[in-house]
A and B are shown apart, each in its own frame.
Chain A
Amino acid sequence: MRYRAMVKEAYLGLKAKDADRVKVHLRRLLLGMKMTDGLVFKVFIYTLLVSLAYVYLFPMLFMISNSLMTFNDIISANVRWIPSSLHWDNYRLVWEQINFPRALRDGLILAGLPALAATFSSGLIGYGFARYNFPLKKLFFVLMLMTFIVPPQITMLPTFRMYARFNLLGSIRAFIFPAILGQGFNGAIFILIFYSFFKMIPKSLDESAQLDGASPLKIFTRIALPLAVPAIIIVFLFSFVWYYNETNLTGLFLRGSEMSTLPLRIEQFFNEFTSIFPEGSPGREMMQSARLAGNLLAILPLLVLYFFTQRHFVESIDKTGITGE
Chain B
Amino acid sequence: MNALMKKFTHRMKPMFEQLGQWWEKRVGTHLTRLGHRLTHNKVLDVSHTRWRVFNRVNIPITNRLREASVGYLFVLIWIIGYLIFALYPIFYSLYLSFFNVRLDGASINLTFVGMGNYRAAFLEDPFFIEILIDYGISMLLNVPVTIVFALIIAMLINQDVKGKGVWRTIFFLPVIISSGPVIGELMAQGATTLPSLEEFGFVQLVLNNLSEFFANPIQTLFDSILLVLWFAGIQILILLAGLQKINREVYEAAQIDGASPWEAFWKITLPSIMSLVNVVIIYTIVSMSVFSLNPVIIYVRNIMLGPSTPSILTGLGYSATLAWVFFLLMSLIILLFVGVVSLRIRKVS
- Listed in ascending order, the chain A residues whose CB lies under 8 Å from chain B are 34-36, 45-46, 48-49, 52-53, 55-60, 62-63, 66, 121, 124-125, 127-129, 131-135, 137, 140, 143-155, 157-159, 162, 177-178, 180-183, 189, 191-193, 195-197, 199-200, 216, 220, 227, 230-231, 233-234, 237-238, 241-242, 244-248, 263, 266-267, 288, 291-292, 295, 298-299, 302-303, 306-307, 310-311, 313-319
Tell me, yes or no, whether B221 is within 8 Å of chain A by CB. no
Which chain B residue lies CB-closest to A135?
B68
Chain A residues contacting B168 (CB-CB under 8 Å) are: 310, 313
B123 in the interface, Cβ–Cβ < 8 Å? no
CB distance from B37 to the nearest CB of A (A): 19
Specify which of B78, B192, B272 is in contact with A191 (CB 8 Å cutoff).
B78
Assembly CA distance A191 to B319 (angstroms): 29
Question: Bound state CA distance, A53 and B274, in angstroms?
Answer: 26
Contact (Cβ within 8 A) B244 A302: no
Report the bound CA distance from A158 to B316 in whole Å.
Answer: 11
Interface stretch (choices B22-30, B128-136, B203-211, B246-254): B246-254
Give the secondary structure class of B's interface: helix
Q: Which residues of A contact B283 (CB under 8 A)?
A: 189, 192
Task: Tell whether A154 pairs with B93 under 8 Å between CB atoms, given A200-B242, A200-B275.
Answer: yes
Nearest chain B CB to A111 CB, angstrom units = 11
Does B304 touch A at the CB level, under 8 Å? yes
In the complex, which residue of chain B has the Cβ closest to the Cβ of A304? B169
Q: Which B residues are CB-close (under 8 A) to A162?
A: 85, 88-89
Please state if A56 and B174 are interface contacts (CB–CB under 8 Å): yes
Give the residues in chain A near B316, CB-CB below 8 Å: 157
Tell whether, in the assembled complex, residue B194 and residue A313 are in contact, meaning their CB atoms are under 8 Å apart.
no
B92 to A150, Cβ gap below 8 A? no
Cβ contacts under 8 Å, B249 to chain A? 319
Is A306 a contact of B176 with CB atoms below 8 Å?
A: yes
- Say yes or no for B151: interface residue by CB 8 A criterion: no
Across the interface, do B90 and A147 meet the contact criterion of CB distance under 8 Å?
A: yes
- How would residues 182 to 226 of chain B score, 1 for a CB under 8 Å from any chain A CB and 0 otherwise? 100110010110100000000000000000000000000000001
Whether B88 lies near A158 (C-beta < 8 A) is yes
Point out the residue from A60, A199, A319 that lies within 8 Å of B275, measured CB to CB.
A199
Question: Contacts A153-B304, A303-B169 given: A193-B238 contact, CB under 8 Å?
Answer: yes
Contacts of A244 in B (CB 8 A): 180
Say if the beta carbon of B237 comes within 8 Å of chain A.
yes
Is the C-beta of B173 less than 8 angstroms from some C-beta in chain A? yes
- Say whether B171 faces chain A, with CB atoms less than 8 Å apart: yes
Question: In the complex, what distance in Å separates the CA atom of A74 from the CA atom of B247?
Answer: 52
Which chain A positions have C-beta within 8 A of B43? none
- Whole-angstrom CA separation of A176 from B176 in the bound complex: 21
Contact call A62/B81, Cβ cutoff below 8 A: no
Query: Majority SS of interface residues in chain A?
Result: helix
Contact residues in B for A146 (Cβ distance below 8 Å): 90
Contact A245 B181 (CB under 8 A): yes
Which of A145, A216, A233, A306 is B241 in contact with, Cβ under 8 Å?
A233
The answer to whether A295 touches B74, judged by C-beta atoms less than 8 angstroms apart, is no
CB atoms of B191 and A158 under 8 A apart: no
CB–CB B300/A134 < 8 A: no
Chain B residue contacts of A135, Cβ below 8 A: 68
- Which residue of B has the minimal Cβ distance to A125? B78
Q: Which residue of A lies closest to B75 (CB)?
A: A128
B186 to A63, Cβ gap below 8 A? yes
Question: Which A residues are in CB contact (< 8 Å) with B179?
Answer: 241-242, 245-246
Count chain A CB atoms within 10 A of each CB in B84, B86, B272, B297 and give the residue with the most: B86
Asked whether any CB of chain A lies closer than 8 Å to the CB of B278, the reply is: yes
Q: Let me know if A56 and B93 touch, CB within 8 A.
A: no
Question: Is A230's CB under 8 angstroms from B241's CB?
Answer: yes
CA distance A36 to B92 in the complex (A): 55
Instruction: Tell me how far the C-beta of A34 lies from the nearest C-beta in chain B, rounded to whole angstroms.
Output: 6
CB closest chain-A residue, reference B73:
A128
Asked whether B21 is an interface residue with its Cβ less than 8 Å from the other chain, the reply is no
CB distance A197 to B245 under 8 Å? yes
Is there an interface contact between A63 and B286, defined as CB atoms closer than 8 Å? no
**What are the 3 tightest A-B residue pairs by CB atom distance, in nearest-first order?**
A181-B81, A128-B74, A132-B71
Q: B314 at interface (Cβ–Cβ under 8 A)?
A: no
Asked, given contacts A59-B191, A154-B323, whether A178 binds B88 with beta carbons under 8 Å apart, the answer is: no
- Which chain B residue lies CB-closest to A166? B84
Given the known A-B contacts A63-B191, A144-B82, A157-B316, are A295 and B185 also in contact in the complex, defined by CB atoms under 8 Å? yes
Chain B residues lying within 8 Å of A316, measured Cβ to Cβ, are 244-248
- Complexed CA–CA distance, A233 and B88 (Å): 31
Residues of chain A contacted by B226 (CB below 8 angstroms): 55
CB nearest neighbor in B for A231:
B241
Kindly list chain B residues whose C-beta atoms are within 8 Å of the C-beta of A248. 292
- The reply to whether B82 and A155 form a contact with Cβ atoms under 8 Å apart is no
